Structure 1
Amino acid sequence: MDLMAQLTAVVGGTIAALRRLTVPRTQAVGETPEIPAARKQGIMTLKMPSATGWASGQRPETAPGLAVNAFASGLDHPRWIEVLPNGDVLVAEAKEQPSRPKTLLDRATQATMRRAHAIGDSANRITLWRDADSDGVAEIREVFLDGQNQPFGMALVDGTFYVGNTDGISAFAYQDGATRLTGPGRKLVDFKPGGHWTRSLIVSPDRSRIYAGVGSLSNIGDHGMKAEEGRAAIWELDLASGAARVFASGLRNPVGMAWEPKTGSLWTVVNERDGLGDETPPDYLTSVSEGGFYGWPYCYWGRIVDDRVPQDPEMVARAITPDYALGGHTASLGLCWMPQGTLPGFPDGMVIGQHGSWNRSILSGYRLTFVPFENGRPAGPPRDILWGFLSDDERFAFGRPVGVTIGPDRASLLMADDVGNTIWRITGA
């Protein structure tokens, strides 16, 4: 650990310890959360556990009736997963690239993120994993696609493979069973890179459109709103015409997306702003309406104004209240729809990979959780599927959940762990 990281850990730990004396002990969760009044932090709480990875034989804890095993290991910061029709599992391996720090806070943040293995040299590749003998452990690994620019989201439609790089969506020719793509890709859409850099992708149920999550550049429009144009949004790409547009906006950092089958609605998980307290505002799970505006940066959870931001009353009046709060700063990134019967004891609902907080005095997230649904809506409190990614004293992270998807057998979940460098497979015990 370098000197800046040591100093940041000491100062950040002291500030966090003082703030945890007065923070709420109940998380803002559910359809009608209790959100504490904003408490401007001045110096933001900066608390992130050091990344250690898993010791030999160590693994996450599971809910009763479930089991977990390493489907694939030895990866380099795995972030997102796509299962191909033939059962091959693709994993995007990428990491945030540090920009030149401009302030002391920038330097402190980067030192903390390096200690947590959250920034650094990016593998910039997609690997293919094949479980040929169907024993739940992949024994074949191939480099499927390399030389990308922080790849994240992936999608396959009618012989074309799409990649969400941080600077846009590219398309590659694909043949069934291929273990490596060759030839140059075609750039279809340009996105502004940097900031919240992930670009998740999801295909519409009729296979005619692709949706992409594009996060903001900054926390609350710190560089002006012109720099945020086209960001904090979900984009829609029409595959036939190639036309791309903003589908919904005001979503600070929308990452995972999923379709709810009863209503046909698109849902996403969103990481909210920092600097207002441990539970303020909560990250959230929400349905997404065409043309909808969800508040960022002017307001949160409907129309609660953030007075740190130059205001636009017309935009505040348009803001849609999210559907379901997930707790403050959980960094909910992964999302997939899980039908009843996939895992024993779990009904229909959404599975959410919570990467874990840094802007809290008491850490949150660091778990794979589940929100039950009935009649197209959340229906009850969340239930944890996997946990145990943090040491009891919150000093060390063995792993951090990111992307999650249904396994090839339709009776398991696969979850990317970018600190443990593992793809975990969750099944019935």
Structure 2
Amino acid sequence: MKHIFITILVILILAGLGWAGFWAWKNLRGAGPAIKPSPGDISESINNTDFPLKLPPGFSISIFAKDLLAPRVMTYDSSGNILVSIPSQGKIVALPDKNGDGKADENVTVISGLNRPHGMSLKCVGLAEGCKLFIAESHQVISYDYDAENLKALKPEKIADLPDDGNHFTRTLLFMPYPEDRRLLISVGSSCNVCEERDWRRAKILVQDEKGLNIFARGLRNAVFMAIHPVSGKIWATEMGRDLLGDDLPPDEINIIEEGKNYGWPICYGKNIHDTNFDKKTYIRNPCEEPFETPSHIDIPAHSAPLGLAFFPEEGWPEDYWHNLLVAYHGSWNRSVPTGYKIVRYKLDEKGNYLGEEDFISGWLTSQGALGRPVDILIQPGGIIYISDDKAGVIYKVIYGGNKSDLIQVQSPKPNEIVTSPLLISGEARGFWFFEASFPVSLYDANGKLLARGPAQADGEWMTENFVPFKLGLKFPAPETDTGFLVLEKDNPSGLPENADEIRIPVRFR
């Protein structure tokens, strides 16, 4: 009898191991790029070319900050410095660029000792009161007095308690647009892959306002990042779909979040598809149809793990980029063939309607593994983008117009140089960049406000394909922002878009 029991036990153990092995093979065989060390240090190989990452023509990429371990959410402080959260180290770091060379001078700890801090939002309510830095830890939201001069967060005040058990520890913050700009949105993911939650705060976007902490929108499994549409003012959010339904289901999502709406999880996904794998109930009506559930706005390939999203403003960007959306695909861990590990551009009209999509930056995923995993995105007026990478431990800086050195070369000012009035602009450009020996140059502040405009004059014979020196002096009033950008346009008397071109130089005023 004892031998029979041992035999049965061995069979059960072997069967269990066999089932576990099959489950792991089915669901985890593509996890290598996400969990294995990077095959190389991207900060040592990347420079102002498009290698090893691939970008559209006219864009260049460089390393703004490195040695950050695992940076996640970024925001600007009141002086224009980038703040970034590092949950794994329990701290917030500031990245000042005091000398204006386009790279962070140092990594300054703003505050440490936190419980997996993730989301941040800076709220400046007036000079008398100063600025408040709101930080979302896994279990709470705290506001601090922000000392911009010394880069420190002081005098903590608790804003809200949050659940701290189960999966999905990241919490993201976003203040709503005016006139509701005192309402703070807090995204809290689910505690599980798919389940009925016991805590009312889970799988929601919450709102903290004068009424306290309440539900803003529900049915959101893990809406890790949010952004405000520049025209409609509506809240957009990325959402990660559930796991263990195979390689291609369910889709990840981009949702337009409206107060009081239900976005389906755990029983619905995508375009209101019923998850019958989880929900075995019998219904008189389709439980996933409108107006009871809200479908996704855009479906994203399953397991792409969309995180940061940011809209292109009109100021300082080509018209065909206006109101478009960039989304960071962090990359899959449970798909047999890995997907994601890139930045995707969604082409939208001014109302947010989908027109198409294309890869914007790719190359992180290689045959040897993942060089990095993009997380958050900041897009500035004037042709500058910042991207955090929590695998490579870096912040990238992307510049539009940074690789046209064969057409025009600006000797002064240098990118991110501090400039004063009168500003002397000099360099050389191919003869076809001119018309009647000149081309237009404009100076803008960071909000896209025109400060000065004038013609750069050729210093020599311009009717040639060779480089011709040019120079220009611009007088401008005191800017309202700390930074701005210089636009040197190819003279285009035809007015035809195919003949237009320009280069943009980021500058600092103080």
**Aligning the two structures, in what range does the TM-score lie when normalised by the shorter sequence?**
0.7 to 0.9
Q: Helix, strand or coil: the match of 2:152?
A: coil
Higher relative CO (Cα under 8 Å, sequence separation at least 6) belongs to 1
Q: Helix, strand or coil: the match of 2:252?
A: strand
Q: Distance in 2 between matches of 1:400 and 1:166?
A: 22
Residue 371 (structure 2) aligns with:
398
Q: Distance in 2 between matches of 1:169 and 1:229?
A: 17
TM-score, with length taken from structure 1: 0.78
Residue 347 (structure 2) aligns with:
372
* Alignment of 1:412 onto 2:384: yes
* Alignment of 1:198 onto 2:170: yes
Residue 31 (structure 2) aligns with:
47
Residue 503 (structure 2) aligns with:
none
- Rg comparison, structure with higher value: 2
Residue 104 (structure 2) aligns with:
138
Q: Distance in 2 between matches of 1:195 and 1:410?
A: 39
2:247 to 262, 278, 303: 278
**Unaligned segments of structure 2, at least 5 residues:** 1-16, 47-51, 126-130, 403-510
Q: Deviations over 1:285-325 (max 9, x none)?
A: 11111111111001112432212324565853411111111
2:358 to 379, 383, 392: 383
**Conserved 8 A contact 1:250-1:297:** yes
**Unaligned segments of structure 1, at least 5 residues:** 1-6, 17-42, 95-121
Q: Distance in 2 between matches of 1:253 and 1:263?
A: 24
* Alignment of 1:246 onto 2:215: yes
Which letter does structure 2 place at the counterpart of 1:214? V
Q: Distance in 1 between matches of 2:361 and 2:23?
A: 27
Residue 293 (structure 1) aligns with:
262
Q: Distance in 1 between matches of 2:268 and 2:29?
A: 21
Residue 236 (structure 1) aligns with:
207
Q: CA RMSD in A?
A: 2.5
Which letter does structure 2 place at the counterpart of 1:57? S
1:64 to 35, 39, 57: 57
| Matched-pair identity in % | 28
**Conserved 8 A contact 2:77-2:148:** no
Check 1:290–1:144 CA distance in 2 against 1; reply closer, same or farther (3 A cut).
same
1:249-398 matched pairs, under 5 angstroms? 249-310=218-279, 313=283, 316-317=288-289, 318-340=292-314, 342-344=316-318, 346-391=321-366, 393=367, 395-398=368-371
Query: How big is the shift at 1:151?
Result: 0.7
Check 1:60–1:242 CA distance in 2 against 1; reply closer, same or farther (3 A cut).
farther
- Number of positions where the alignment pairs a residue of Structure 1 with one of Structure 2: 360
Check 1:362–1:13 CA distance in 2 against 1; reply closer, same or farther (3 A cut).
farther
Q: Helix, strand or coil: the match of 1:274?
A: coil
Q: Distance in 2 between matches of 1:255 and 1:349?
A: 20
Q: Helix, strand or coil: the match of 1:254?
A: coil
1:142-181 matched pairs, under 5 angstroms? 142-157=108-123, 158=125, 159-181=131-153
Q: Helix, strand or coil: the match of 2:200?
A: coil
**Conserved 8 A contact 1:72-1:129:** yes
Residue 25 (structure 2) aligns with:
15
Q: Deviations over 1:359-381 (max 9, x none)?
A: 21121110111112213223322
Where in structure 1 do 4 or more consecutive aligned residues deviate above 4 Å?
A: 10-14, 43-46, 311-315, 341-345
TM-score, with length taken from structure 2: 0.66
